[in-house]
Amino acid sequence: MKDIRKKINLRTFFIGGLFTLSFFALIFRTFWIQYIDSPELLVKAKDTWERSSALNPKRGEIVDRNGQVLAYQGKAYTVIARLKPYPNDKKNTNYVSNPEETASKLAPILDMPKEKILQRLMRKDVDQVEIRPGGWKVPKETADKVKELNLPGIGLYEESRRYYPYGTFASHVIGYTNLDGEAKMGLERQMDEQLRGEKGSLKFRKDRLGNQLPGGVESYKPAKDGNKVVLTLNHQIQSYVEDALNQADAKYKMKSVSVVVADPNTGQILAMGSRPSFNPNAPKDIQNFTNPVVSAEFEPGSTFKIVTLAAAIEEKEFNANEYYKSGTYKIKGSPPVRDHNRGIGWGWITFKEGVKRSSNVAFVILGYDRLKKDRLFSYLQKFGFGGKTGIELPHEARGSFDPNRKYYPRDIASITFGQGVTVTAIQQVAAVGAIANGGKLMKPYIVKEIRDPKTNEVIQEFKPQMVRRVVSEDTAKQVRDLLDAVVNEKHGTGQPFALPGYHVAGKTGTAQVARNGHYVRGKYINSFIGFAPKDKPRLLVYVMVEEPQIDTPSAGGKIIAAPIFKSVMERSLQYLKLSPDETDGHTTEIMGDESTVMPDLIGKNVSQAKQILGQAGLRAEILGNGKTIVRQYPSAKAELTKGSAVYILTVKDGTQMPNLTGKTLREVMELASLLDIQVTGINGEGYVITQSIQPGAKVKKGDKLAVTLAPKSTTGAAQPEGEKAKKHKEESGEQNIKTAN
């Protein structure tokens, strides 16, 4: 009995102890969960019933100074192919059951090889695939065509992407964003902080399928869209640049060509373009990921003489009527400096004549012999060489000029005429702009304003900024007069760049290409920088042609750069309503037999207009059934080639749509402006092959036009300081100076 009781007590103690231990374990576990594990468990619980979603902002627009959209964020679509039936799809119809047929129908719409699409549709390791032409999402027009096919298993997922409606238009300036929307180049990259906006967030409660519960929003922070960036670019002037570049690129082979148009009074860049170019909508074949206008360093050649000339005049070391002996200039212990006609020169000529003929010897005398190193280099620095201009474009270069570097006498002599030193195009534009505007170095800039995307209010405004005064107004005027003589007087090297009726002043430049410390025979950089009108310049145009492949490469300026300059300058001046001054007799260049000038036809009747155009060698395309000319394209006094077609409008509204086939985008835009209609859709690049408003259809003000373009084939269509100049001349063994009587 005692043993039984003992066993019962022992068992009771064991069970009681077990319950007590379990009780304390439960209390401990409850405490642990409540106070130790609770933060982690709460996170896991929230993951179960809560969902967070990032809200992407809309990237800001890039527009020209007049609001023309150059880059915007729009709807885009990804084509999705379901390769296997859904588990609950009893009919097994919503998948790609016939890959061969599906690939054949998608290929022409997506502009992809059928084999590449079929390869994706035949994959066995995944349930569905994305089909992106070149990795890019497709625009709405393409998505609509895919939808119309109604192919089993083919769907569309709506997203967004960056669009550049004008294709190659100013592409090196605007830049692009990649497949993931990351800014990679140009203003897209430089202004990314302003354009990209700020992401928002949404947190809500969800059901077991992940759907948002009614009233389940816990927190919401809206995305802030990116700001609008307004450029100083003028769409119309940029179109003149693009057109001139396209014509040169189609006619000549060259390594590159660049054009800049600026307002020298403010430093605003009105146009900037280069070839080779690329289409930012699908930048597959980019040859240069930087903008050559700001990033490429090169020897400027004779355009650099403008700075040497300005410095000599400012320092009173220049007398236009003083004579010097041209040909060669000897420097002790170094090869002589020769004039560009193999050192023959033109005998004893005045310094003015030397400027007109672009005599190297004249500028060595002025810069090396008279100004000497310190004064010369001081002016080069004042004009901005050796430093960045600060323009709002990435990867700006400084050039090779460094006043603290050791230069040998021959090096200093060479710098006076633009050899042995590298610069950038934008440095030259700023420096010569100072001569054009009266002696003030202006900071070049290309961003005009930052605006709120919703209210369009100006958030930040960029205004003209004077860096410093580099020369006096009188000096700048004297330089302008001499540059006028370069273009408009006999023996001037700039005569091919003259414009009938306009005072154009400027300077040519021809520089040999240097590689690995040596000049390459037969390789040149041809350039011209000029402004107009000469006394009150409104525009400055710089053209640079690199390594033209022509019979006489050193003549690339006359053959290639001159037509580009004249086309851009003349059309831009006309656009600004600056008509030629026919009363000043300032016409030096006689147009060739194949050239003619557009007459003023406004107010004349149709028969008179036809007769006048016939006499000018032009073909008339009459728009409308009116009797009197109310508008015309091109505008009066535009230079044309005989045989060109011109448009004359006889009614202000309700005219017929002309046939646009074979026309360039610029011509389409000009005609649209003439007809008061809007171009709302542009696909492709090159020349028009289709138009949404058919030829002959009546159009009225505000009608919308879309065009498709394709390539032409598709249409069928120094000396040590302290020494005197006299001593130097004696050591050189030649007396190059003689005072005029």
pLDDT reading at 656 higher than 90: no
Q: Which two tokens mark 7?
A: 């066993």
With a pLDDT cut of 90, the percent of the chain lying above it is: 49
Owner of token pair 């633009």: 418
Tell me the pLDDT band of 587, cut-offs 50, 70 and 90: very low
> Which pLDDT belongs to residue 43?
61
Contact 390, 369 (CB under 8 A): no
pLDDT reading at 732 higher than 50: no
pLDDT, the chain, mean: 85
Which pLDDT tens digit goes with each residue over 318-361? 999 999 999 999 998 899 999 999 899 999 999 999 999 999 99
> Which pLDDT belongs to residue 42?
59
With a pLDDT cut of 70, the percent of the chain lying above it is: 85
> Which pLDDT belongs to residue 627?
87
DSSP 8-class letter at 592? P
Report the catalytic residues.
302
Question: Region 350-375: what's the mean pLDDT?
Answer: 97
> Which pLDDT belongs to residue 698?
86
Which alpha helices (H) appear in 616-676, and where do they start and end? 665-675
The region of weakest confidence among 240-254, 377-391, 576-590 is 576-590
Which of 385, 388, 393 minimizes the C-alpha distance to 303? Answer: 385
pLDDT top residue among 18 and 143: 143
**How far, CA to CA in Å, does 649 sit from each of 472, 606, 613, 694?**
49, 10, 14, 18
Question: Region 696-708: what's the mean pLDDT?
Answer: 84
Cα 244–Cα 548–Cα 688 angle in degrees, nearest 5: 30
Q: Which two tokens mark 576?
A: 């600004």
pLDDT reading at 212 higher than 70: no
pLDDT reading at 487 higher than 80: yes
Topology classification of domain 235-584: Beta-lactamase (3.40.710)
> Which pLDDT belongs to residue 723?
40
Cα of 495 vs its chain's centroid, Å: 29
Run of H or E residues at 558 = none
First and final CA of the chain: distance in angstroms? Answer: 154
pLDDT reading at 733 higher than 60: no
Which pLDDT tens digit goes with each residue over 492-510? 999 999 998 888 999 999 9
Which of 648, 656, 682 minimizes the C-alpha distance to 668? Answer: 682
The region of weakest confidence among 446-450, 518-522, 544-548 is 518-522
**What dihedral do alpha carbons 365, 370, 374, 379 form, nearest 10°?**
-70
- What's the rounded Cα separation, in Å, for the pair 400 and 416? 14
What's the CATH class of domain 596-715? alpha beta
Question: Region 624-646: what's the mean pLDDT?
Answer: 77
> Which pLDDT belongs to residue 473?
98
Q: 164-189 burial, b if ≥16 CB within 10 A, otherwise e?
A: bbbbbbbbbbbbbbeeeeebbbbbbb
> Which pLDDT belongs to residue 49?
56
> Which pLDDT belongs to residue 38?
63
pLDDT reading at 671 higher than 90: no
Question: Region 573-601: what's the mean pLDDT?
Answer: 62
Identify the top-confidence range among 36-50, 281-295, 448-462.
448-462
> Which pLDDT belongs to residue 735?
45
pLDDT reading at 718 higher than 60: no
Sorted by where each begins, the domain ranges of the chain are 9-52, 235-584, 596-715
> Which pLDDT belongs to residue 215?
55
The region of weakest confidence among 89-98, 557-566, 731-740 is 731-740
| 3-state secondary structure (DSSP) of residue 154 | strand
Which pLDDT tens digit goes with each residue over 7-65? 777 777 777 777 777 777 777 767 666 666 667 655 655 566 566 667 789 999 999 99
CB neighbour class for 113 (10 Å; exposed up to 12, middle 13-18, buried from 19):
exposed
- What's the rounded Cα separation, in Å, for the pair 530 and 637? 21
pLDDT top residue among 484 and 642: 484
Question: Region 146-150: what's the mean pLDDT?
Answer: 91
> Which pLDDT belongs to residue 713?
47
The region of weakest confidence among 29-38, 308-317, 371-380, 420-429 is 29-38
Question: Region 607-614: what's the mean pLDDT?
Answer: 88
Q: Note the pTM of the prediction, 2 decimals.
A: 0.73
Tell me the pLDDT band of 440, cut-offs 50, 70 and 90: very high
Question: Region 111-127: what's the mean pLDDT?
Answer: 89
